[in-house]
A = this chain, B = another copy of it.
Amino acid sequence: MNYIGVDIGGTSVKAGIVSPEGEILCSGATKTNVDCGSLSVIGDIANLIGELLKKQNAGVTEIGGIGVGCPGAVDGENGVVLFSGNLHWENVALRDEMANYFETLPIFVSNDANMAALGEATYGAGKEYGDSVLITVGTGIGGGIVIGDQLFEGNRAAGAEIGHMVIRVDGEPCTCGRNGCFEAYASATALIRQTRRTMQSHPESTMWKTCKTLDDVDGKTAFEYAKKGDAAAKAVVEEYIRYLGEGIVNIANVLRPEVIILGGGVSAQGENLIKPLQKYLDGHVFGKTKTARVLVIKAKLGNDAGIIGAAELAKQRTGKQNYHQ
């Protein structure tokens, strides 16, 4: 039986019908009309799923269940989005509202990064490994923990907030209200901030001379100029890798997964990032080479991870847990 995976984002909702082997059979997307409120967005999701079923000539009876990933704090047990900054949602009964459209189907809800982690662990980069942690490095840092091929969500699915682990007490302010979070040092946003600061303090750098405006700086700028030999850019990249490395070593020491999977926009740097991170991890992890090695690898499924993981959660949990019915 196939399952439906839904990945709600701040700008668009993606959904797909996924085979039990993790293959997306058909997929589509719709705009997230955040301004219209949660009920309207959920109506749009139901329409999108309807279109997919039509495209596949499939009836609801041929679907085993629906998994929905959503940004923010999600109470997976009760299917409620407690709050989501991106969507401006607070206490939205996502599972029950979805059930109004698909009353015969079991529906499972979790955090979007959790869904992506389950997708990567089951069908992507972590396929060959039992325990994995996905670290998604983008505007923020998201994370998901998979233990023995099962998603570990923490109490009411509020765990795996890996980006909000302080690595420098009293450090840079974070969106969560703390200071010095991993996210505040190792997200793409932090990398951009540091690139800009460095350009301003190094007007002699090629990076500054070529870019000239801070507005053009993105997460790739420092990496590009570092490759061209610019000393200021190199320093930014080195410092960034060290911060990312510190967070990764922390995760390795606390959870000791077999692999840490790096996803999100910054992971596009590939070996330029993975190789020095692996070296940093090997050199700083507790017990160094004497204990089980933790590998750093690149995510494989890209933007599909969320859909595939959400469908997988529905597949794993259907029949095993209470749901809306």
Contact = CB atoms under 8 A, between A and B. Distances in A.
Interface of A: 73, 75, 82-83, 90, 131, 143, 145, 147, 152-156, 158-162, 164-169, 171, 176-178, 180, 185, 242-243, 246, 249-251, 253-258, 284, 286-288, 290-292, 294
Nearest to A288: B177
A73 to B, nearest CB: 4
Given A165-B165, A169-B243, A287 B178 contact: no
Consensus secondary structure, chain A interface: mixed
A186 B90 CA distance: 36
B254 A162 contact: yes
9 contacts: A154-B255, A158-B292, A159-B253, A164-B253, A167-B168, A167-B169, A168-B169, A169-B242, A254-B254
A248 to B, nearest CB: 11
Contacts of A250: 165-166, 250
Contacts of A251: 254
A16 B116 CA distance: 45
Contacts of A131: 154-155
Contacts of A153: 256
What 7 pairs across the A-B complex have the smallest Cβ distances?
A: A154-B256, A159-B256, A156-B292, A161-B253, A158-B291, A155-B292, A73-B287
Nearest to A91: B290
B286 A164 contact: yes
Contacts of A243: 169
A217 B253 CA distance: 31
Contacts of A161: 253-254, 256, 286
Contact of A253 (B75, B165, B242, B287): B165
Contact of A246 (B145, B169, B254, B256): B169
A158 B158 CA distance: 24
A274 B59 CA distance: 55
A67 to B, nearest CB: 20
A75 B166 contact: no
Contacts of A171: 169
B257 A154 contact: yes
A82 B290 contact: yes
Contacts of A176: 286
Contacts of A162: 253-254
A118 to B, nearest CB: 16
